A and B are shown apart, each in its own frame.
Chain A
Amino acid sequence: MKILVAVKEVAELAEQFDISGITIGEEYFQYDLNEWDSYAIEEAVQLNEAGLADEVVIATIGPERSEETIRTALAKGADRAVRVWDEALDDIEVLDLHGKVELLAAVVEHEEPDIVLTGVQAGDDQFGATGVALAERLEFGWAAVVNDLEVDSSGETISVRRELEGGIEELANVDVPAVLTIQTGINDPRYASLRSIRQAQRKEITTLSLEELGMNSSVVESPLELLGMAEPETEGTATYFEGEPEESASALASLLEGAGVVEI
């Protein structure tokens, strides 16, 4: 059984930043592996270690910069990686769902995995739609927001738990091949050891352009347009306790006492 993990390098915004027009300067960003994807990778690697999968391939859409993040994913135990990028993607403000799905579908059709795992959402744009749309495009089974999974012995179905709102879980069986979007907490993602980081340097990262995928730039034309970007107007009405920690803590203690929840 082969598992493909679709991952994204996400942008994390600094505490203080400036927005000019509809962009934020590169200097305010740091890049990291998407939190949800690290759980998807761990799940794939555990299936591999349990002998249920024999290969774990990372797929990503990202510029050259993202290779560092891919190396992290490889160091966590994936076997190799495929990175899709193209000049045509450089200037795109909102990479639309359908474009993303077509690119990933091309990789899936080439790799022919049995299971595709991905995170519930990317932490930066919080879009949350790629996995399920990809499954529909591929005519695979799917499940979104999975916090437990078990591949049955025949390898034909996967039993999953989907985490609904309010502490309720849905139990479902999904046909293989399948795409599952993985929720945080499903496992305990490992840290890459120094040795595995060194080993990951030798693992293969294949880079594919649109042309190499047999596509042209029309595939990533987006029906969505970014029209504005702003810091949310704070409706905040908070009273701030300022000063040295002794002072602010003292003011807070008085508040708690006044509210009748703490006796001092």
Chain B
Amino acid sequence: MSILVVAEHRDGDLRDVSFELLTAGVELASTLGDELHVAIINGDVDRFAAELNSEGVSAIHTIDHGDEFNHDVYCQIVSALCDRIDPSYVITPNSVNGLDYVPAVAQGLDLPLITNVVDVEHDGRLRATREMYGGKVETSVGTEAETALLMLRPGEWPTTHEPGDATVVSHEIEVDRDAVRSTVTGFDAVAADGIDISEAEFIVSIGRGIEDEDNLKLIEHLVDMTGGTLAASRPIVDNDWLPAHRQVGQSGKTVTPTVYLAIGISGAVQHVAGMKDSDIIVAINNDSNAPILDIADYAIVDDLFDVVPELIRECGGEPPGV
């Protein structure tokens, strides 16, 4: 049997998650004594194959059907490849594009799927660790099935690899055009007008704990007093309380300030993806179980409406009444 990793790329580059999947694949293959295979679909497949050719990989399968991702094409090709090489476990990214094709492969092949996986073990049966309830609970989900698809959460496995000597096999796989029900017509970058928060040294970031748009003036006052840069978690931007270029996280900006002060932010994985490499992370949160506290260097477990006014006073200001 073999383990199959399906790589991901965008705009001419392999995404980091591809190398993370490789690490997970090497680990699982060595536990099981299986071969590790890698699939690369579309784009500059030969260059990608060379980049992914690393120790522990037996074979790299390339399939060239265009430049970028199309979920119908990916779904058909991964399904066909599974028929050809008959892998035990198929390891895919829990990325936005992963979400757009892997569930369809699982459905079409009638295979179990476990998404959002943060750890994988095998002790006679596969055990995947995944989180629930906003990261407050970790579950272990098992399957006796000999074949299953796993979607691994980005950022959970390291990416270092030694060069390898896998064979590269190029495949011709017919795509049934009648079953292609979508066309990708282009890409767009979210308007990057206004300030660039990724350059900031001190970020004051606000989350749903602020409750109401009017209360934002409290945080804006803190920003004025400290000379920090205002940023936010997604719900604040979703509500149109702040513009999109202030959003930190997976679908917003990645920031690495000297200090990231997270106020009323729970620390969801998609938020953390954008700020975890800050030098010093400080959290103000009234929930002693909030996941943000696991990655914080300093924390105040208290009500932000009590702490922030005091902080403004400490900085020589007078808090606005909220």
Q: Report yes or no: A236 in contact with B253, Cβ–Cβ below 8 A.
A: no
Please state if B113 and A240 are interface contacts (CB–CB under 8 Å): no
A235 at the interface (CB under 8 A from B): yes
Contact B104 A142 (CB under 8 A): yes
Q: Are A144 and B302 within 8 A (Cβ)? A: no
CA distance A139 to B234 in the complex (A): 33
Pick the contact of A164: B10, B94, B302 (CB < 8 A).
B10
Known: A163-B251, A245-B307, A255-B282. A171 touches B185 (CB 8 A): yes
Taking A145-B100, A229-B139 as contacts, is the C-beta distance between A175 and B190 under 8 angstroms? Answer: no
In the assembled complex, how far is the CB of residue A50 from the closest CB belonging to chain B, in whole angstroms? 20
Closest 8 CB pairs of A and B: A249-B310, A185-B238, A141-B181, A228-B140, A261-B202, A253-B314, A129-B103, A136-B104
Q: Which of B31-39, B142-150, B157-165 contacts A (4 or more CB under 8 A)?
A: B142-150
Contact A232 B258 (CB under 8 A): no
Chain A residues contacting B289 (CB-CB under 8 Å) are 15-16, 231
Q: Which residue of B lies closest to A225 (CB)?
A: B142
| Pair B252/A167 contact, Cβ less than 8 Å | yes
With the chains together, A59 CA to B266 CA distance in Å?
A: 30
Query: A141 and B114: CB pair below 8 A?
Result: no
Q: In the complex, what residues of B have CB within 8 A of residue A124's CB?
A: 132-133
Structural contact, B311 and A249, CB atoms closer than 8 A: yes
- Which chain B residue shows the least CB distance to A167? B190
Chain B residues in 8 Å Cβ range of A241: 298-300
Interface residue ranges, A against B (CB under 8 Å): 11-13, 15-17, 19, 22, 24, 94, 96-98, 101, 120, 123-137, 139-145, 159, 161-175, 178, 181, 184-185, 188, 223-232, 234-241, 245-246, 248-250, 252-253, 255-256, 259-264
Q: Which residues of chain B in 85-143 are interfacial with respect to chain A, using CB atoms and an 8 Å cutoff?
A: 94-97, 99-104, 106-108, 110, 112-116, 127, 130-143
Residues of chain A within 8 A of B102, CB atoms compared: 129, 132
A127→B115 contact, CB < 8 A: yes
> Are A238 and B113 touching (Cβ within 8 A)?
no
Given A24-B137, A232-B131, 4 new contacts (CB under 8 A): A123-B134, A165-B96, A166-B254, A223-B145
Whether the Cβ atoms of A11 and B133 lie closer than 8 Å is: yes
- Chain A residues near B106: list those with CB within 8 A: 97-98, 129, 133
